Structure 1
């Protein structure tokens, strides 16, 4: 091979590699990415998600499973904003241990009209769970402000999971995580403590400003008190606490 031909070969090889690397691999992948998990897992798995937009809302599970237009998520924080579209997400978990695993899938989100969770086992069995703001709180498999689901699978097995979500009243966001049962309880204890401190501080500030208004008669304090109490109730709604305790059956 002459020197000139060698240069041309190297040039075309570099161009081919660049084009190959720039090509969206998510469009080539028909299989779900598998994530290894263990009993004491505490994993953020958003980057392992794949998603698909359904603008018509007519796609069924059997349809989306066959599509090769899934796109790879690039962040553990997933947000679609306000949208009238339906969105599908998928991921797969693998149990590399020699015993049955019982874990918790936490979406990290509590405000969605409809949230469908599908568990697809290799035997062909499909388990579907539907939760959301349009459904009573008591129907949730785990009594938590966030949408949380218990998952379990046998030693050495893999399970695929699909999510279908839709909401016209709330912006959608997702910070999905996998927890062992003990880790999930610890995480919830921390969240409850932190939220309790925040809520308690706001109530104290509200009462203090209300007291100042009563004693000093300065209307600026009553305005501030109203701002604080409104923010307090906003946080209760944002964290899903109001739906859980104040109107769990009001759909």
Structure 2
């Protein structure tokens, strides 16, 4: 009797851990996955044989910075005839490999990421999308291998049917298209106004709007897709510096409004902080450093400090103006 209960328990447990793809369902694969964080990079065969896999219950994966590949795996079965798709929820991962296996045998694979040309992507999208071509009611194991020394490797892994894929892809491009179109309209509208009024602070406002536009199209992968699909290093430079340029234009825009004196301590402090952030970004961009994560956190902290100084300056000048 105990053996029967044990068998039933194991049967229920194994089936519960298998992801089932059905019509009109979006499935987050992470809570039903296992992760592997090795001390050195592994081949697929070594990863399959590894005994160090750990169950995760998180909603997203956070592998942080690493030049060593991190692994995610999960079992999958589809109960529909349509194709299914896997979406890796980050547009700034350097290396991303997806392996479809059955009974520990490789069925198909995809190798892509920002370190490879845009044409390496199996689907023509600025997001990382993968068609999972598997037979109905058969159990497969999906292995995902990734590494990222460009930005923190923080992502979701989502599965859905072809119908949902088409809807999500259309909606994503529709919304981002509206946002980018609005930014372009605001930029050119204010550019026309600037030609008439010629106010210095307005010039910095225009540059600030333009930096927001660049930040969006770079981080969403549109520049890599349409402008330089074969220039992986150029894409890396744009990703690293677009956020820094946004910070610089914001600081200079606010400084122009507040009319800070060039030799004032606030102005000198802000310029000093921006120079440090620039140097840290440059080190991170051109050198693959063991301390990439520390450099990122320091640069982020200094950027926040620059914004805090900017807020303090703004409040100080506001009160000075109010009581004089």
Give me the whole-angstrom Cα distance separating, in 2, the residues matched to 1:181 and 1:31. 24
Q: Which residue of 2 aligns with 1:142?
A: 123
CA spacing shift, 1:42–1:215, aligned 2, 3 Å: same
| Cα deviation, residue 139, structure 1 | 2.4
Which residue of 17, 35, 52 corresponds with 2:36? 52
Q: TM-score, normalised by structure 1?
A: 0.80
1:76 aligns with 2:22: no
Give me the whole-angstrom Cα distance separating, in 1, the residues matched to 2:16 and 2:113. 25
| Cα deviation, residue 49, structure 1 | 2.3
| Cα deviation, residue 151, structure 1 | 0.8
Q: Which runs of 5+ in 2 are unaligned?
A: 1-12, 233-324
Matches within 5 A, 1:94-173: 94-95=77-78, 97=79, 100-122=81-103, 124-173=105-154
Matches within 5 A, 1:80-91: 80-91=63-74
Give me the whole-angstrom Cα distance separating, in 1, the residues matched to 2:215 and 2:86. 26
| Cα deviation, residue 52, structure 1 | 1.4
Tell me if the contact between 2:99 and 2:106 (Cα under 8 Å) persists in the aligned partners: no
Which residue of 7, 10, 18 corresponds with 1:34? 18
Tell me if the contact between 2:100 and 2:143 (Cα under 8 Å) persists in the aligned partners: yes
Give me the whole-angstrom Cα distance separating, in 2, the residues matched to 1:118 and 1:93. 12
Q: Which runs of 5+ in 1 are unaligned?
A: 1-28
Give me the whole-angstrom Cα distance separating, in 2, the residues matched to 1:32 and 1:138. 37
| Cα deviation, residue 106, structure 1 | 0.8
- How many residues get paired? 220
Q: Deviating runs (4+, > 6 A) in structure 1?
A: 29-32
Matches within 5 A, 1:187-226: 187-226=168-207
| Cα deviation, residue 31, structure 1 | 11
Tell me if the contact between 2:48 and 2:104 (Cα under 8 Å) persists in the aligned partners: no
Tell me if the contact between 2:85 and 2:160 (Cα under 8 Å) persists in the aligned partners: yes
Tell me if the contact between 1:32 and 1:160 (Cα under 8 Å) persists in the aligned partners: no
1:61 aligns with 2:44: yes
SS, match of residue 54 in structure 1: coil
Q: RMSD of the TM alignment (CA)? A: 2.3
Tell me if the contact between 2:21 and 2:161 (Cα under 8 Å) persists in the aligned partners: no
CA offsets 1:126-168 (integer angstroms, 9 cap, x no match): 3221001122212211111111110122222011010111122
CA spacing shift, 1:33–1:137, aligned 2, 3 Å: same
| Cα deviation, residue 83, structure 1 | 2.8
More helix by share: 2
Tell me if the contact between 1:114 and 1:166 (Cα under 8 Å) persists in the aligned partners: yes
Tell me if the contact between 2:21 and 2:160 (Cα under 8 Å) persists in the aligned partners: no
